[in-house]
Structure 1
Amino acid sequence: MVYGKRTNGLMKHLRDVHGISIEGSKNKKDLLNMGYYHGYKGYRFIKKSNDRIPYTDFDEIVAIYQFDVQLKTLFYPHIMFIETALKNHTLDTLIGYGQADFDYIYRQLLNDYKKHDVGSSKYRKAVKRKLDLRNAVNNSIAYHYNNKRDVIEHFFHTNKPIPLWAIFEIINFGDFGFFVMCLNEEVRKTIAQDLNVHSTNYNQNGRIVEDMIFLIKELRNSVAHNSVIFDCRFQKTSPPARLKGYIENETNISGITFENIIDYLVVTIFLLKNLGVSKAEIRKVIKQFSMESEKLRNAIPVNAHTSIMGSDMKTKLGKLRVFV
């Protein structure tokens, strides 16, 4: 029975089978720290396993691994900030519509299904989405109550309705996106206006906020779970054209496809600016991204760097600095 290879055996395997130069104590330590399966096997391709990066030296793998780590370090605090801010801004808007407990909002405002003909496939799909959201919220409440989270226990033990802010505290970013999706069009547009992201050209149906939530959610989850992000393999579905057009229009940066990580930097910077983060702080983010990209460019073949970052990365960075 084969139980696997130890590090020396894996190094020999990389040399003999994959033609990668790897030797010495430094390379051995790097391989041990990053792991063969999480490290090499996770970073040997771009997006698809058959799109192999033509490595010749193990240091090139280490460079991409370290670039990915630095990207996650760069994005993490800002993505968390954006998640919290979007929930709080949405809460603030919804309070203006009356009571702020979840049951009231669920009955009165999570009624996007009503715009469809009763019994139609779109009506049924929208109703099911609302019911699924209710189940997701109930599951989160049960989980956090079982784990004795004060924010949930208090309202149960005092026989009070759970306020919306407490629900937003416990649901994940994806369920928050579905919450926004279930809101009626008027409310969605009001939230967009309050966030200063409403556009008559790109937000006619009030979907732009949920578009951004679902876009960022995939990156957020990958960063939080230490998954690979450098090549945007976390993207499960292509973002809608309206979101791409909106970001291009607002930032004056063309060619937004979300196929390269630079485009996720663009939307992150866009949101940070709209949420009132200082220009100095935003410029630090852009500078750090640029430095990490340059460090990677000097460590791997130019064609590999271009495949990862896109041929228009420098142009986008220049326009992003102007946007800020």
Structure 2
Amino acid sequence: MSKIKNIDSLMKYLRDRHNIAISGGHQKRRLRNIGYYHGYKGYRFINTPSRKIAYTDFNQVLAINSFDLDLKSIFYPHIMFIETALKNYVLEVTLQHSNTENFNEIFDKCLTYYKTFATGSDEYKKALKKRLGLREKIYNTLTRDYTNNRQVVQHFYHKDESVPIWAIFEVISLGEFGNFVSCSNINIKKNISTSLNLNQSCDANGKLTESIIYIIKDLRNSIAHNDVVFDTRFKSSNPNGSLLACLRLDTQITNINFHTIIDYLILVIYLLKNFHVTKTELNKVVNKFEILINNFRTLVPISIYNQIFHTDTRNKLNLLKSFIST
């Protein structure tokens, strides 16, 4: 595009350059509502720009856009619930080990995973750097939130008190929370893992909890920023092998790799079940997802659907229902 185009020019561009049928006032309004750049350009490929979707009609673009929004609405409340629950479980174990709410004391007593390694080794330096970076990030977050009049921070500073760990958990990002768990000593990691009822045969190094947090973090942030989620392009790293083994053993579902969104559904259901959410509620989540993808399949060519959902999707859903019922 060599120059700025108005909405009519963008419609003509879609017809002439991309061979997508689009016309009329209704589709013009829909294009304006979803936006050419956020809407069409955001949904014109699957996972990577090289995997272009062969659209022939603008209604197909709208179907994927609506499907993506509906996916976010299914995941959002449960991701928020999981984030809160994870922080509460970690907080409880941390307080048991530290016997204090003071972050500086917790930093000295509990965030000592770097001591696992030989002093001066590459692993030692990497772990210590992560620990120091976490402290700096937390202090920066508290400064920012005080400046922005966040009450949970201002309350303690105005009383000339340090911000307690539970309040820090309220304001740090999920990624930094994952770093907190990562920096915790091995005894704390193992206690957290046990409290979450994670498969201990898959967690010899105690890293299963942080792996879960990092995976959830990517999905949570994409939903919060209204980014595209249907093709898991938000995934920032490959999942830990221990996490894949844990899910496979506990759910009896194979081929979990987080290349498709259904694998994130499996993880969410797994965690919700560990948090003792009822079978009725879990089945509601899975049924909503199943209805959504079944409807989506009727709105796009099967060639597009099969690029998003693999042939084992139906089997994974059935096994997930079986896992819920156990």
Measured in 2, the distance between the counterparts of 1:300 and 1:158 equals 59
| Residue matched to 2:76 | 76
From the superposition, tell whether residues 241 and 48 of structure 1 become closer, same or farther in structure 2 (CA, over 3 Å). Answer: same
How many residues get paired? 323
Measured in 1, the distance between the counterparts of 2:149 and 2:14 equals 49
Alignment of 1:164-313 (within 5 A): 164-200=165-201, 202-313=202-313
Measured in 2, the distance between the counterparts of 1:214 and 1:38 equals 26
Secondary structure (helix, strand or coil) at the match of 1:42 reads coil
Deviation at 1:2, TM superposition (A): 5.8
Measured in 2, the distance between the counterparts of 1:28 and 1:178 equals 46
Deviation at 1:198, TM superposition (A): 4.0
Measured in 2, the distance between the counterparts of 1:205 and 1:175 equals 20
Asked if structure 2 preserves the Cα contact closer than 8 Å seen for 1:101 and 1:161, the reply is: yes
Pair 1:112 & 2:113 matched = yes
Pair 1:20 & 2:17 matched = no
Q: For each residue in 1:255-288, what CA deviation from the matched residue of structure 2 results, as whole angstroms up to 9, or x when unmatched?
A: 1010000000000111111112121111111111
Asked if structure 1 preserves the Cα contact closer than 8 Å seen for 2:198 and 2:246, the reply is: no
| Residue matched to 1:103 | 104
Gaps of 5+ in 2: none
| Residue matched to 1:126 | 127
Secondary structure (helix, strand or coil) at the match of 2:231 reads coil
Measured in 2, the distance between the counterparts of 1:235 and 1:257 equals 11
| Residue matched to 2:46 | 46
Segments ≥4 residues shifted beyond 3 Å:
none
Secondary structure (helix, strand or coil) at the match of 1:43 reads coil
Asked if structure 2 preserves the Cα contact closer than 8 Å seen for 1:198 and 1:208, the reply is: no
Task: Identify which range, 229-238 or 155-164, moves more after superposition.
Answer: 155-164
| Residue matched to 1:314 | 314
Measured in 2, the distance between the counterparts of 1:259 and 1:288 equals 21
Pair 1:7 & 2:7 matched = yes
Deviation at 1:157, TM superposition (A): 2.4
Deviation at 1:145, TM superposition (A): 1.2
Asked if structure 1 preserves the Cα contact closer than 8 Å seen for 2:199 and 2:246, the reply is: no
Measured in 1, the distance between the counterparts of 2:79 and 2:259 equals 18
Deviation at 1:161, TM superposition (A): 2.9
Secondary structure (helix, strand or coil) at the match of 1:253 reads coil
Measured in 2, the distance between the counterparts of 1:36 and 1:13 equals 11
Q: For each residue in 1:51-98, what CA deviation from the matched residue of structure 2 results, as whole angstroms up to 9, or x when unmatched?
A: 111111111111001000101111111111110110011111112111
Measured in 2, the distance between the counterparts of 1:188 and 1:13 equals 55
Identity %: 44
Task: Identify which range, 191-200 or 122-131, moves more after superposition.
Answer: 191-200
Aligned partner of 1:188: which letter? K
Deviation at 1:3, TM superposition (A): 4.6
Measured in 1, the distance between the counterparts of 2:28 and 2:162 equals 57
Gaps of 5+ in 1: none
Aligned partner of 2:200: which letter? S
Measured in 1, the distance between the counterparts of 2:149 and 2:214 equals 30
Aligned partner of 1:80: which letter? M
Asked if structure 1 preserves the Cα contact closer than 8 Å seen for 2:76 and 2:220, the reply is: yes
Asked if structure 1 preserves the Cα contact closer than 8 Å seen for 2:115 and 2:124, the reply is: yes
Asked if structure 1 preserves the Cα contact closer than 8 Å seen for 2:10 and 2:36, the reply is: yes
| Residue matched to 2:94 | 94
Deviation at 1:213, TM superposition (A): 0.2
Measured in 2, the distance between the counterparts of 1:211 and 1:166 equals 23
Measured in 2, the distance between the counterparts of 1:31 and 1:160 equals 52
Asked if structure 2 preserves the Cα contact closer than 8 Å seen for 1:189 and 1:198, the reply is: no
Measured in 1, the distance between the counterparts of 2:191 and 2:306 equals 40
Measured in 2, the distance between the counterparts of 1:53 and 1:129 equals 40
Measured in 2, the distance between the counterparts of 1:291 and 1:214 equals 28
From the superposition, tell whether residues 102 and 210 of structure 1 become closer, same or farther in structure 2 (CA, over 3 Å). Answer: same
Q: For each residue in 1:173-220, what CA deviation from the matched residue of structure 2 results, as whole angstroms up to 9, or x when unmatched?
A: 0000000000011110100111111412x1000000000000010010
Deviation at 1:23, TM superposition (A): 1.3
Measured in 1, the distance between the counterparts of 2:173 and 2:216 equals 12
Aligned partner of 1:108: which letter? K
Asked if structure 2 preserves the Cα contact closer than 8 Å seen for 1:260 and 1:309, the reply is: yes
Deviation at 1:162, TM superposition (A): 2.1
